[in-house]
Copies of this chain bind each other. A is one copy, B any other.
Amino acid sequence: MASRPLFYAFSFLAFSCLCSCRQLQEMANQFNLESVREFLTREEDSIVFSLIERAKYPSNLPAYDPSYLAGGVFRNYSLLDLFVRETEAVQARAGRYQNPEEIPFFPKILVPPIFVPPYKYPEVLHPAAASVNARNAIWKMYFNQLLPQFTAKGDDGRYALAAAADLVCLQALSRRINYGRFVAEAKFRDAPEDYTRAIRAGDRDALMRLLTSEAQEETVKRRAEKKAKVFGQDVTVNNTGRNESSRPKYKVDPAVVYHLYGDWVIPLTKLVEVEYLLHRLD
């Protein structure tokens, strides 16, 4: 492999850090319930874009079938499995998982060396709870439940493109759902006494009640559905930016996005929040 010498060159830990302490302090100060809500709202756009981009390709089942790769010499990995592992390894070397917002799907293969200097991200999370995540649930949900709902049956051979699009979907969903740790931290700081009581009692139900707002959740589901309509329409020069046909056609069914949020994104985020809070006073 001609890139091998380059690859070895990465095996080196560098030391400079350009980020000033003032910037870090500013980023830490900006963390509150308002900034958390802005983050989650912006991530909706990313999730919807990523689904629309994956829907360009049909289901492309060979990408997920280990027998497609010469039946077993790859230890029962599918093209998608290998692709995600290798891509996460590259992104780890570029420092992606130094950022506490980011959680890889295959952390065991992501040992250093990395090729970037350490970067001091603001310390927002409680260290004992920072590693809480829902990556396994997200992985299973995406491939077993979601993917068949928004891709057309078929095979166009663009397996590497489909796998790259899958990874963008997975990373967007993971970023959003595992941001539950930050959501929980912001809520805890906003009402420490209420949360401390429930945490000390180990009362999951009480925690779930404290962090649930059904009205707010319905707004989020409706907004995500609306984004699927707005971003997934066929835009022409002359239409108004709305899909005006009596039977509008969208690149991803808005109902799928509504249920993705209602059945998975919101419940899994809350699960991450509860687990985080249970370790918040460790």
Closest CB-CB distance, A154 to chain B, in whole Å? 9
Cβ-based interface call for A121 (8 A): yes
Cβ-based interface call for A125 (8 A): no
A222 contacts across to B, CB distance below 8 A: 237
A242 contacts across to B, CB distance below 8 A: 240-242
Closest CB-CB distance, A79 to chain B, in whole Å? 6
CA distance A7 to B77 in the complex (A): 12
Known: A19-B157, A235-B230. A70 touches B10 (CB 8 A): no
CB-based nearest B residue for A69 = B14
A99 contacts across to B, CB distance below 8 A: 157-158, 160-161
Cβ-based interface call for A164 (8 A): yes
Establish whether residues B68 and A117, one from each chain, have CB atoms under 8 Å apart when the complex forms.
yes
Interface string of A202-242 (1 = CB under 8 A from B): 00000000000000000100110011011101011100111
A 87-113 contacts with B by CB, 8 A = 87, 89-91, 93-96, 99, 102, 108-111, 113
| 10 residue pairs, one from A and one from B, having the closest CB atoms | A14-B70, A96-B160, A94-B160, A3-B109, A86-B90, A49-B49, A119-B157, A241-B242, A222-B237, A2-B109
